[in-house]
């Protein structure tokens, strides 16, 4: 059942959103060729722990529990890449998905970084994925139903010569990481008939386009988690947690916008650096 939040609840979620944004800011600052994905994951875990937050991915049930705080997916990996001793290389497309819970509320977002001298295809793919998320946020201000947004997201991706992953979708979010509704980045008959939902104040969703340079088909690796493109093409992933207020959409995992929010982010990083 879809759970609408009060405006007060949505603003409470902003703290988790800012810490999530801060984690991505940390990743953007330190990701480089030569470091391992496990090293990157460890720094995010440190940021969360020193700010009294819980990383929401570690221990998620599956065939085997997910073993890390972040999902780090490189090149043809779409989502759910497991941090390991894999070394990040010059030219890699590195998608990091992460989420945390603090003061009882969750934040979830993903960001794709380009490391070093990347291909023109990789650069275009990331920009199109990012623009697709931006398009969704813009449309949330005027759309009546999610299908109106999802249809335009898919149309834009296809117009750029890329494909939308259809086996994984976004989700509602609040006191738990995954809540109703399901939030696809495309439309299909059963969704239109049974699962479409209205865009209205109180709705909080994680919107996360996953875009492939080649075909849309994906497969799971033998680690029971990592999803890769079936044809080996590049993939990118972008995500924001978005709350709908009476005034329109609020990107909860976006950068700080007020002096109070900037001070909160400074405190997050002070604790990370100084272990206060």
Looking at the chain, the whole-number percentage of residues with pLDDT higher than 70 is: 100
Looking at every residue in the chain, the average pLDDT score rounds to 97
At residue 276, does pLDDT exceed 60? no
Task: Taking residues 248-260, report their average pLDDT.
Answer: 98
Sequence-separated (6 or more) residues with CB below 8 Å from residue 130: 112, 238
pLDDT value of position 119: 98
Task: Taking residues 260-266, report their average pLDDT.
Answer: 98
Residue 149 belongs to some domain of the structure? yes
Residue 1 belongs to some domain of the structure? no
Give the pLDDT confidence of 45-88 residue by residue, as tens digits.
999 999 999 999 999 999 999 999 999 999 999 999 999 999 99
pLDDT value of position 2: 87
Residue 197 belongs to some domain of the structure? yes
pLDDT value of position 33: 98
Give the pLDDT confidence of 130-149 residue by residue, as tens digits.
999 999 999 999 999 999 99
pLDDT value of position 82: 98
Contacts 24+ apart (CB under 8 A), 42-50: 44/69, 44/70, 44/96, 44/98, 45/69, 45/70, 46/272, 47/19, 47/22, 47/23, 47/268, 47/269, 47/272, 48/19, 48/23, 48/100, 50/271, 50/272, 50/275, 50/276
pLDDT value of position 275: 73
Residue 219 belongs to some domain of the structure? yes
The answer to whether 141 and 248 are in contact (CB under 8 A) is yes
CATH number of the domain within which 261 lies: 3.90.230.10
Residue 15 belongs to some domain of the structure? yes
Looking at the chain, the whole-number percentage of residues with pLDDT higher than 90 is: 97
Tokens of 123: 């650069």
Which domain covers residue 139, as residue numbers? 7-274
Pairing outcome for strands 170-172 and 163-164 = unpaired
pLDDT value of position 1: 75
pLDDT value of position 170: 98
Task: Taking residues 82-102, report their average pLDDT.
Answer: 98
Residue 2 belongs to some domain of the structure? no
The answer to whether 88 and 34 are in contact (CB under 8 A) is yes
pLDDT value of position 207: 98
pLDDT value of position 62: 95
Residue 232 belongs to some domain of the structure? yes
Burial label, 52 (beta-carbon count in 10 A; 0-12, 13-18, 19+): exposed
Give the pLDDT confidence of 109-138 residue by residue, as tens digits.
999 999 999 999 999 999 999 999 999 999
What total of structural domains would you count in the chain? Answer: 1
152: pLDDT confidence band, cut at 50, 70 and 90?
Answer: very high
Sheet holding 179-183, edge to edge: 179-183, 170-172, 204-207, 240-245, 248-251
């Amino acid at each position: 059942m879809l759970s609408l939040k009060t405006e007060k609840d949505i603003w409470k979620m902003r703290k988790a959103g800012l810490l999530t944004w801060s984690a991505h800011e940390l990743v953007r600052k330190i990701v480089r060729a030569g470091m391992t994905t496990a090293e990157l994951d460890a720094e995010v875990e440190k940021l969360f722990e020193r700010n009294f937050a819980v990383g929401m991915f570690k221990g998620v049930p599956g065939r085997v529990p997910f073993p890390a705080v972040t999902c780090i997916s490189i090149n043809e990996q779409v989502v759910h890449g497991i941090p390991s001793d894999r070394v990040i290389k010059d030219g890699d497309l590195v998608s990091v998905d992460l989420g945390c819970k603090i003061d009882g509320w969750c934040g979830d977002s993903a960001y794709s970084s380009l490391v070093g001298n990347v291909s023109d295809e990789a650069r275009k793919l990331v920009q199109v994925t990012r623009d697709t998320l931006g398009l969704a946020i813009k449309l949330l201000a005027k759309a009546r139903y999610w299908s109106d947004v999802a249809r335009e997201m898919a149309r834009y991706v296809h117009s750029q010569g890329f494909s939308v992953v259809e086996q994984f979708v976004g989700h509602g979010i609040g006191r738990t990481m995954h809540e109703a509704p399901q939030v696809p980045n495309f439309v299909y008959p059963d969704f239109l008939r049974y699962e479409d939902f209205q865009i209205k104040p109180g709705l909080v969703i994680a919107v996360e386009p996953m875009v492939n340079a080649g075909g849309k088909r994906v497969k799971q690796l033998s680690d029971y988690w990592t999803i890769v493109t079936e044809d080996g093409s590049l993939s990118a992933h972008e995500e924001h947690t978005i709350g709908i207020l009476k005034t329109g959409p609020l990107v909860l995992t976006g950068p700080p916008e007020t002096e109070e929010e900037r001070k909160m982010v400074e405190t997050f990083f002070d604790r990370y650096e100084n272990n206060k």
